[in-house]
Structure 1
Amino acid sequence: MASSKLLVCTCIFHILFTTSSIIHAAPTNSKLFREYIGADGNNIRFSDVPINPNVDFHFILSFAIDYTNTASPTPTNGDFSAFWDTNNLSPSQVSSIKAHHPNVKVAMSLGGDTVNKHTVFFSPATISSWVRNAISSITRIVKENNLDGIDIDYEHFHADPNTFAECIGQLIFNLKQSKIVSFASIAPYDDNNVQPHYLALWRKYGHLIDYVNFQFYAYDKGTTIPQFLQHFETQTSNYKGGRVLVSFSTDASGGLKPKNGFFTACSMLKSQGKLQGIFVWSADDSKADGFPFEMQSQNLLASAK
C-alpha cells in the first residue's frame, strides 16, 4: 500500500511540475544587480561593496560544495558545507547588511569550479539519496546564515544531463515548496560539456528557476559588442521565457569587458526592453579597484532611460 501511494505522489509531482504548459511571464527590463562574493578568501566584506538603494541587490556567496573540506577533498553525495570566507561573510554579517539595506538579499551558489585546487564534480550516488542529503544540508545552511535563495553553478559532471536535471529540479522544488528559499538561479555557460546539463534542467524544471546567470565572460577575450548581442539573443532563445542576465568579470576571464563596450551593449538592450539584470564575477576581484563597474552597473539599472 505504501509503495502505491509513493507511485501516485511521484506521478502527481511529474504531472504538476514538469509540464511544458507552465511558462514564464515575458521578461522585460529590471533593476536586478547580482554579485558573487567570497570565493577567493581575500578578506572582503559585504559592506565593502557599494549598494545603490534604487536597485534590487543580490549577494551570492561562493560556494557551498558537497565535498569534504580536506587536503584531498572527495564528494559527499549532497552533504553541502560552506566553503566561502565564513570569517568575514558570517551569519551576523548577512543579517547586518540586510538590516542596513532593505533592498539586499543574500543567496549561496552550489558547486563552482574547484575546491582546494581540485575539480568539483557533480557526482550523485543516486538521485533520491543526493536530493535527500542536499535538502537537509542546504536547509541547515540557509537557516544558519539567514539566506534567501540558491544559485546552481556546477561546471563539471560525473552524471548525465537527465540525472542532473532531476537532482537539481527536485531540490529546487522541495526548497521552494517548504519556503526554505524564495528564489533560485542557474549559472550555465556555452560549453558542450556544460550547457546540455542546464538545458535538460531548463526543459523539465525551468518554471521553478527565477534567473539565468549566464556566464557571458566565458566567451573569448576580445568579444565585440555585436558578438555579445548575438550571444545574448542565442541564450535568450535557449532559455526561452527565462530572465537571462548579462554579465562581465573583473578578473582575467574573457567576454565583453566594461572598458570595451559592455555598458554600451547594456544600454542598447535596455532601449529594447531586454535588460533583465546584470551580474558580476566577482566582488573579490573588484575590491582592489574600488568597484567602479559595480557602481556603473547599478546606476544604469536604476536610471529611467
Structure 2
Amino acid sequence: MKFPSVLLALLIILQAFSPHHVSIQAAPTNSNLFREYIGAEFNNVRFQDVPINSNVEFHFILSFAIDYDTSSSPSPTNGKFNIFWDNDNLSPSQVSSIKNSHSNVKVALSLGGDSVQGGYAYFDPSSVSSWVSNAVSSLTKIIKENHLDGIDIDYEHFKADPDTFAECIGQLISTLKKNGVIKFASIAPFDDDQVQSHYQTLWKSYGHLVDYVNFQFYAYDQGTTVSQFMDYFKTQSSNYQGGKVLASFISDGSGGLSPADGFFTACSKLKSQQQLHGIFVWSADDSKSNGFRYEKQSQSLLAIPH
C-alpha cells in the first residue's frame, strides 16, 4: 500500500519543481471565432453573400435592436426593443436557413448602436427594475421569433450613470442566460472616457457573464501601426482583465489598423502569444463591395490549428 503514496509524493514534488507547472494552469487561449456585424446599412446584404469557412466558429451579429419607437422622430421606450436592422433581407426564415446549411454558424443580436434615424441612440432607462423587465420581455420575443443565439451590447451614448448601466445590462444578461434564451453575450466598447467608464463598471460587477469583448479597435485613428495596435490590445486586455478581447477592423478602412496596413500581421503576433481570441468585422454591409476578401483572409488565419 505504500507504493502509490510514494508515487503521489514524488508527483507532488516533481510538479512543484517543474518549470512547466505554471503553464499547465494557463492553457492556450487562441480561438477560431469569427464574428461579423450585418444589416445596419440596408444595402441588401444577405447571410448567404458572406463566405463561411467550415473550420471556424462563425457568429453573425444583427445590427441593431434599439429601445426606441419606430416613428419618424424616434424616442426612447425604456427597454421595449424594436427591430432596426434590414429585416427584409435578414428575416427569421433566413436565419434558420443559414444555420441549417452551416452547423458552425450562430446568429446574435446587437443592442443600441451609435444612432437611430440620424440622431444618437441613448441608453435612457426610467429605472433599473422597469427597464430590465421591459427589456427581458421584448428581447425574449425578438430572440425567439428570429431563432437567435446571443446578444451583443453596443450602447455608445448614455443618459444614465455607469452604475445604472451596469445593473440594467448585468441583470438583463443574467436573466436571459438563466432563462435559457441566450447562450452567449458580448460587449462592444471603444476607447472613449464615457464609454469606458460605463463598460468597465459593468465588467467589474458582471464580467463573469460576458463571453466576448468586441473591442472596437477601429475607433482608434486611421493609420494605426502594428506596434500601436499591439499596445492598444495589451491595454484593453488589462482593462477587461480575464476577458476574451477580440481583434477587429472596419471594412471601409476609415479607422484603426486596416487589413491593408498590417492587421493580419498583428493577428499572427497575437496568435503566436496565444492571445488571438477571435476576430470581428464591422461590417458585412461595407464588405459586400470588395467581395469579402478580408473576411476570407481572417477566417483562413483563424482556421489554422493553433
The verdict on a shared fold, with TM-score over 0.5 as the criterion, is: yes
**Partner amino acid, structure 2, of 1:47:** Q
| TM-score, structure 1 as length reference | 0.91
| TM-score, structure 2 as length reference | 0.91
Contact kept? 1:27, 1:241, Cα under 8 Å: no
Mapped to 2, the partners of 1:180 and 1:26 lie a distance apart of 30
Q: Which runs of 5+ in 1 are unaligned?
A: 1-24
**Partner amino acid, structure 1, of 2:32:** K
Contact kept? 1:213, 1:245, Cα under 8 Å: yes
Partner SS for 1:193: helix
Name the CA shift for 1:216/1:26 in 2 (closer, same or farther; >3 Å): farther
Structure-2 residue corresponding to 1:133: 134
Mapped to 2, the partners of 1:252 and 1:216 lie a distance apart of 12
Matched, 1:50 2:55: no
Structure-2 residue corresponding to 1:151: 152
Structure-2 residue corresponding to 1:263: 264
Structure-2 residue corresponding to 1:6: none
Name the CA shift for 1:50/1:227 in 2 (closer, same or farther; >3 Å): same
Question: Shift of residue 253 of structure 1?
Answer: 2.8
Structure-1 residue corresponding to 2:282: 281
Structure-2 residue corresponding to 1:193: 194
Structure-2 residue corresponding to 1:296: 297
Mapped to 2, the partners of 1:226 and 1:288 lie a distance apart of 29
**Partner amino acid, structure 2, of 1:216:** F
Mapped to 2, the partners of 1:29 and 1:94 lie a distance apart of 28
Mapped to 1, the partners of 2:172 and 2:28 lie a distance apart of 25
Structure-2 residue corresponding to 1:70: 71
Structure-1 residue corresponding to 2:40: 39
Structure-2 residue corresponding to 1:213: 214
Q: Which runs of 5+ in 2 are unaligned?
A: 1-25
Structure-1 residue corresponding to 2:15: none
Partner SS for 2:194: coil
Partner SS for 1:92: helix
Contact kept? 1:121, 1:154, Cα under 8 Å: yes
Question: Shift of residue 252 of structure 1?
Answer: 4.7
**Partner amino acid, structure 2, of 1:93:** Q
**Partner amino acid, structure 2, of 1:94:** V
Partner SS for 1:125: coil
- Which has the higher mean CA deviation after the structures are superposed, 195-204 or 252-261? 252-261
Mapped to 2, the partners of 1:131 and 1:253 lie a distance apart of 35
Contact kept? 1:122, 1:158, Cα under 8 Å: yes
Structure-1 residue corresponding to 2:118: 117
Mapped to 2, the partners of 1:253 and 1:149 lie a distance apart of 28
Mapped to 2, the partners of 1:270 and 1:238 lie a distance apart of 20
The runs of at least 4 consecutive aligned structure 1 residues that moved more than 2 Å come to none
Superposed CA deviations along residues 71-97 of structure 1, whole A, max 9, x for unmatched, are 110000000011100000000000000
Partner SS for 2:157: coil
Name the CA shift for 1:135/1:27 in 2 (closer, same or farther; >3 Å): farther
